[in-house]
């Protein structure tokens, strides 16, 4: 089967793992065959900090990080490490920190169950009176007292010559769903715990199960009134059209905040913030439109015109007293941070977008009034209000529901990192190790969240990011769902080949996902392109988080083999924004591109083209297609002839939702994005060749839509 591009292999190895089998390392690798250059103390210290020093690559071969990389990542995690000689002290520091913390900073508890905590106490302190106070989010607080020596002893350990006991504390309160606070006091000691009351599973509604939907980046939709980029108006039309065809959802890439000046980075997966919307898509009634001609979005021209129009409308709104309206006041109460966001954007127009270059005190969050234009602040607040209102109307309107993405991270020069600098590991980037599609690996330029500091702040930011995207969606996709368990960190200045995996508190993260999903009545799917460890899939299954299945990564590997089976309840997609559409796969467009970029030798490209031809012959037989066009055949802009048959196979299977990219309906051959080619490919700019009404009129498109609706061949 095809391997997914741009993600690397997401499995780890330990001493007992069969080569190629997906496993998980809980805090370290253990007895793994590592590079002889990695000292034992480096592996032991890495394990204490949750750093994995080895993994299986895309070919199932064990790979090991260098000691230098491990030290750099340890330092980014807060370990006092510079040289190899520091590792022993760092290990002692970490052990002492873990044992001297009375109880964990976070505890996830299933809804309506009692809270049980392990208390780690120096043996001499495990006597006397303990008082606790539990503040519940939407219920009256509770409190109580007990004697420490009466608590059950469940373990203990000597750490650096000091004896510790572990005693079991049970709070006799049924924990409701929500975010709560526990305070424990005994003697002169006081400690706090973030308590997450979590539902048993994420939300599952009846509307999506067994249905289908369409997908396309919003910028690429043809605006009904001829604009140069898709807008909220385009999205409304897409939702209505999808609903009329019988579809349940219309999906798009993230619609999150982006910079509105040059140089333009159009990637929706590198937002300025995961807490605010991209005002590029807001409808501005009466504003002059940029010409809609052309196959690519002209962001530079568009942003300049829209900034002027937004400024004029915002000025008029505030001048007329719009701020006093109940609707606007309600928005401000729900989004109190929007004014801070507006100030950040206004400061950027004066000082430049990279806040790391700003002078103090603006660099650390205190922007002097004299340095910003209040009209720019108002422009951004007004734009966020408009976006919120328009999305609310879309969610409440007739037609299909909204399907949004939650991206992995945010830009290092963006608002979220500026406003919460301690929460991000700014000396590293998330990425992926080398694989067949990216032999040098990938650096995505997104500073990863610091796993321990996420816990210390009770996942407030993570929950807010989910809440923002879920608010108006019926379904959200967690990009790179592997993030709930581990993320590949590449230290600043290093190659992705020198990266290393860092573990995350998976059980607590899925608890937050389930809680926010239930509160928003929004279903969740995790991006699983075939390389996610079974442990992550087990967590997703146990919490009602759907998996993904992608046709392009599941094609038969032999002429007699069937399609890979779709997991029960999964979102089965024909392709993704990082893949060539099905017709492009048939024509070998991806193979041509990799050969042109020097990622494939000519003989390997020839072999892959022959294999692709074999795959499509097998696909045609499996799907019952009446046409069997060879690779390099007809390139006319109609859907691939195998597509209706494939859809019927999926409808007979166990998929929870079938998702069709509009590029496949339009018979396109090029992807929306080719990872790692921002300077050579028109990534995130491609527009559909026609509007939706026109796309669905050809006999070939009608056959695809009929198959989506469950019609007989």
Bridge partner residues of 118 (DSSP): 168
Please state at what angle helix 67-76 crosses helix 40-48, rounded to 10 degrees.
Answer: 30
d(CA 363, CA 371): 12
Per the structure block, which two tokens stand in for 303?
């942003």
To which H or E segment does residue 674 belong?
Answer: none
Which 8-state DSSP code applies to residue 279?
G
Per-residue pLDDT, 35: 42
Per-residue pLDDT, 565: 87
pLDDT of residue 651 exceeding 50:
yes
Per-residue pLDDT, 184: 96
d(CA 66, CA 39): 10
Mean pLDDT estimate for the chain:
89
Q: How many residues does the chain have?
A: 713
pLDDT tens for each residue of 333-369 = 999 999 999 999 999 999 999 999 999 999 999 999 9
Confirm if 99 and 92 have CB atoms less than 8 A apart: no
Query: Angle at Cα 441 formed by Cα 435 and Cα 443, nearest 5°?
Result: 145
Quick one: average pLDDT of 486-509?
A: 95
pLDDT of residue 20 exceeding 70:
no
d(CA 399, CA 282): 20
Q: Which positions ≥6 away from 199 have C-beta within 8 Å?
A: 110, 111, 177, 514, 515, 518
Q: Which residue has the tokens 């939709």?
A: 221
φ/ψ region of 412 (left if φ > 0, alpha if ψ in -120 to 50, else beta) reads alpha
d(CA 638, CA 635): 8
Q: Domain extents for the chain? A: 112-198, 249-394
Per-residue pLDDT, 636: 64
Quick one: average pLDDT of 201-217?
A: 95
d(CA 646, CA 663): 16
* 615 vs 415: which has the higher pLDDT: 415
Confidence of residue 12 (pLDDT cuts 50, 70, 90): very low
To which H or E segment does residue 122 belong?
Answer: strand 114-122
Residue whose C-alpha is closest to residue 283's, from 328, 321, 232, 234: 232
Per-residue pLDDT, 334: 95
CATH topology of domain 112-198: Immunoglobulin-like (2.60.40)
Confidence of residue 696 (pLDDT cuts 50, 70, 90): confident
d(CA 226, CA 325): 32
Comparing 470-474, 518-522, 643-647, the range with the smallest average pLDDT is: 643-647
pLDDT of residue 600 exceeding 50:
yes
pLDDT tens for each residue of 660-684 = 999 999 999 999 999 888 878 999 9
Per-residue pLDDT, 301: 87
Confirm if 69 and 490 have CB atoms less than 8 A apart: no
To which H or E segment does residue 247 belong?
Answer: none
Per-residue pLDDT, 130: 95
**Which letter, b or e, does each residue of 15-35 get, where b requires 16 or more Cβ atoms within 10 Å of its Cβ?**
eebeeeebebbeebbeebebe
Per the structure block, which two tokens stand in for 271?
């937002």
Per-residue pLDDT, 37: 61
pLDDT of residue 56 exceeding 90:
no
Quick one: average pLDDT of 461-488?
A: 97
Quick one: average pLDDT of 31-36?
A: 36
* 297 vs 618: which has the higher pLDDT: 297
Per-residue pLDDT, 632: 43
pTM above 0.95, yes or no: no
Per the structure block, which two tokens stand in for 457?
């702040």
Q: At 325, is the secondary structure helix, strand, or coil?
A: coil
Cα atoms found within 13 Å of the Cα of residue 184, Cβ hemisphere only: 24
User: In this structure, how many other beta carbons lie within 10 angstroms of the beta carbon of residue 478?
Assistant: 26
pLDDT tens for each residue of 67-80 = 999 999 999 999 99
Residue whose C-alpha is closest to residue 492's, from 391, 572, 412: 412
Q: How far apart are the first and last CA of the chain?
A: 27
Confidence of residue 96 (pLDDT cuts 50, 70, 90): very high
Q: Which positions ≥6 away from 640 have C-beta within 8 Å?
A: 581, 582, 583, 586, 629, 664, 667
Torsional sign, CA 209, 212, 217, 222: negative
pLDDT tens for each residue of 234-266 = 999 999 999 999 999 999 999 999 999 989 999
d(CA 279, CA 47): 44
pLDDT-above-70 percentage for the chain = 91
Per-residue pLDDT, 55: 84
Quick one: average pLDDT of 127-143?
A: 95
Q: Which positions ≥6 away from 699 have C-beta within 8 Å?
A: none
d(CA 145, CA 323): 49
pLDDT of residue 558 exceeding 50:
yes
* Among 121-135, 465-479, 630-644, the range of highest mean pLDDT: 465-479
């Amino acid at each position: 089967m095809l391997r997914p591009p741009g993600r690397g292999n997401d499995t780890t190895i330990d001493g007992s793992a069969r080569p190629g089998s997906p496993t998980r390392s809980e805090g370290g690798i253990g007895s793994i065959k590592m590079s002889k250059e990695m000292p034992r103390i480096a592996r032991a210290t890495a394990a204490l900090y949750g750093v994995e020093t080895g993994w299986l690559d895309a070919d199932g071969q064990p790979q090991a990080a260098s000691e230098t990389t491990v030290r750099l990542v340890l330092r980014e995690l807060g370990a006092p490490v510079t040289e190899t000689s520091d590792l022993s002290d760092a290990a002692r520091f970490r052990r002492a920190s873990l044992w001297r913390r009375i109880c964990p900073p976070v505890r996830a508890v299933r809804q309506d169950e009692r809270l049980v905590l392990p208390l780690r106490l120096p043996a001499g302190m495990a006597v006397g009176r303990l008082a606790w106070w539990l503040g519940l989010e939407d219920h009256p607080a509770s409190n109580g007292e007990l004697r420490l020596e009466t608590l059950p002893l469940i373990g203990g350990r000597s750490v650096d010559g000091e004896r510790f006991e572990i005693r079991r504390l049970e709070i006799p309160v049924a924990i409701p769903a929500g975010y709560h606070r526990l305070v424990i006091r005994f003697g002169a000691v006081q400690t706090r715990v973030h308590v997450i009351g979590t539902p048993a599973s994420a939300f599952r509604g009846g509307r999506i199960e067994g249905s289908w939907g369409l997908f396309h980046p919003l910028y690429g939709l043809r605006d009904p009134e001829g604009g140069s980029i898709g807008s909220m108006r385009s999205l409304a039309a897409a939702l209505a059209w999808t609903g009329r065809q019988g579809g349940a959802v219309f999906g798009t890439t993230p619609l999150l905040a982006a910079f509105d000046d040059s140089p333009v980075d159009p990637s929706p997966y590198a937002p300025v913030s995961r807490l605010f919307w991209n005002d590029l898509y807001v409808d501005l009634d009466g504003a002059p439109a940029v010409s809609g001609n052309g196959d690519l979005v002209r962001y530079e021209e568009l942003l300049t015109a829209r900034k002027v129009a937004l400024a004029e409308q915002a000025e008029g709104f505030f001048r007329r007293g719009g701020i006093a309206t109940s609707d606007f006041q309600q928005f401000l109460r729900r989004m109190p941070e929007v004014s801070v966001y507006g100030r950040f954007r206004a400061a950027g127009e004066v000082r430049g977008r990279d806040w790391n270059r700003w002078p103090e005190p603006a660099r650390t969050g205190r922007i002097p009034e004299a340095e910003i234009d209040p009209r720019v602040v108002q422009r951004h607040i007004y734009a966020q209000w408009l976006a919120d209102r328009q999305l609310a109307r879309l969610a409440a309107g007739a037609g299909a529901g909204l399907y949004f993405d939650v991206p992995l991270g945010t830009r290092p020069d963006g608002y979220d990192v500026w406003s919460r600098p301690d929460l991000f590991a700014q000396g590293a980037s998330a990425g992926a190790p080398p694989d067949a599609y990216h032999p040098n690996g990938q650096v995505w330029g997104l500073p990863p969240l610091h796993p321990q500091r996420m816990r210390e702040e009770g996942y407030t930011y993570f929950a807010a990011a989910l809440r923002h995207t879920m608010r108006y969606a019926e379904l959200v996709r967690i990009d790179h769902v592997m993030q709930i368990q581990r993320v590949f960190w590449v230290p600043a200045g290093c190659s992705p080949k020198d990266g290393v995996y860092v573990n995350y508190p998976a059980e607590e993260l899925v608890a937050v996902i389930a809680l926010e999903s239930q509160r928003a009545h929004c279903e969740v799917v995790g991006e699983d392109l075939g390389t996610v460890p079974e442990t992550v899939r087990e967590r997703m299954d146990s919490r009602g988080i759907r998996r993904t299945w992608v046709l392009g990564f599941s094609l038969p590997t032999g002429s007699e083999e069937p399609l890979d089976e779709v997991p029960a309840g999964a979102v089965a997609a024909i392709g993704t924004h990082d893949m060539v559409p099905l017709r492009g796969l048939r024509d070998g467009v991806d193979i041509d591109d990799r050969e042109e970029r020097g990622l494939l030798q000519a003989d390997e490209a020839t072999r892959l083209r022959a294999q692709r031809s074999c795959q499509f012959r097998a696909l045609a037989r499996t799907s019952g297609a009446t046409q069997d066009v060879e690779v390099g055949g007809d390139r006319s802009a109609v859907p691939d002839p195998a597509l209706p048959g494939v859809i019927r196979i999926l409808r007979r299977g166990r998929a929870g939702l079938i998702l069709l990219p509009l590029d496949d309906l339009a018979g396109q051959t090029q992807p929306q994005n080719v990872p790692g080619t921002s300077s050579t490919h028109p990534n995130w700019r491609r527009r559909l060749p026609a509007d939706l009404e026109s796309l669905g009129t050809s006999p070939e498109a009608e056959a695809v839509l009929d198959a989506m609706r469950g019609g007989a061949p």
